[in-house]
Amino acid sequence: MAAADLPDTDKPKQEEWTHVKSKSRFRRNAPRPSPKLPGASSKPDEPRIHKSVADITTEYDSFKTRWRDTACHTKLRELVETNAAKHRTVRKAVCLGVGTFDPEDGGWDAKRRTYIQLDGFLTVVEVLSELYKETIPCSFQEPRFTPNDTEFLTNLGHQVVESPAAFEAVDEDTLVFAVHMYRPIYEATLEKASPAMFVGTGWDVWDEYVISPLVAGRDADTSLDSLR
């Protein structure tokens, strides 16, 4: 007997069947995860992993190669060569606040500024060394340096010091390279002596501060004029 011909007593009753509705694998109203902010860590308690010395060195070499092929670098060399004779001989060089080579957010612009400022400073020192035919020792002071930043600079043959060592080292034979620092930094730098050469905030800004006793015991106008 065919199934279609089953007697009524043998047919399953409608109420005995359970109807199961198909379910989607995804809930329509499932909560969405909160978007992560740029630079936010999924595990804030994890220790930060610093960029290796090798990676910093590779990045610096890349920026250096490209920047030294620009008109800006050529102009800087010419500027130093043209004006070096107008200054006292530089015997040592101090670089302040160049920034870290490993910013926490990994920002490209921040790294670019730091690497170019570093090579700008080293270019000035390089040109002066060629003119004087002698080596000029360099020291760096930057509170944001990581241990690997310090090792990178040490590997280049330079010294990294803690504040206020760099301020105290400035004398009349020093090149000071301090771009876009706050006024108290400049005051601490120039407190004891006017350096042989100064690279930093523009002269038009310094004109506003000539009444400040930046160099104790000497006329401020005369002291700043020697830094032109």
Q: Where are the domains of the chain?
A: 53-210
Burial class from Cβ neighbours inside 10 Å (0-12, 13-18, 19+) for residue 2 reads exposed
Average confidence (pLDDT) over 209-218: 40
pLDDT at 70 over 60: yes
Confidence of residue 172 (pLDDT cuts 50, 70, 90): very high
pLDDT at 42 over 90: no
The more confident residue out of 107 and 65 is 65
Say what the pLDDT of residue 11 is.
47
- Terminal-residue alpha carbon distance, the chain: 114
Confidence of residue 34 (pLDDT cuts 50, 70, 90): low
Confidence of residue 155 (pLDDT cuts 50, 70, 90): very high
pLDDT at 63 over 90: yes
Query: Residues of 27-66 as b/e, b for ≥16 C-beta within 10 angstroms?
Result: eeeeeeeeeeeeeeeeeeeeeeebbebeebbebbeebbee
Per-residue model confidence as pLDDT tens digits over 14-30: 444 444 454 544 444 55
Q: Which pTM value belongs to this model?
A: 0.71
- CATH class (in words) of the domain with range 53-210: alpha beta
Beta bridge partners of 175: 93, 197
Determine the Cα–Cα distance for residues 115 and 121; give it in Å rounded to an integer: 10
Start-end of H helices in 84-202:
108-132, 147-155, 165-169, 183-189
The more confident residue out of 77 and 33 is 77
Average confidence (pLDDT) over 75-100: 96
- Average pLDDT over the chain reads 80
Phi, psi dihedrals of residue 158, rounded to the nearest 5°: -110, 170
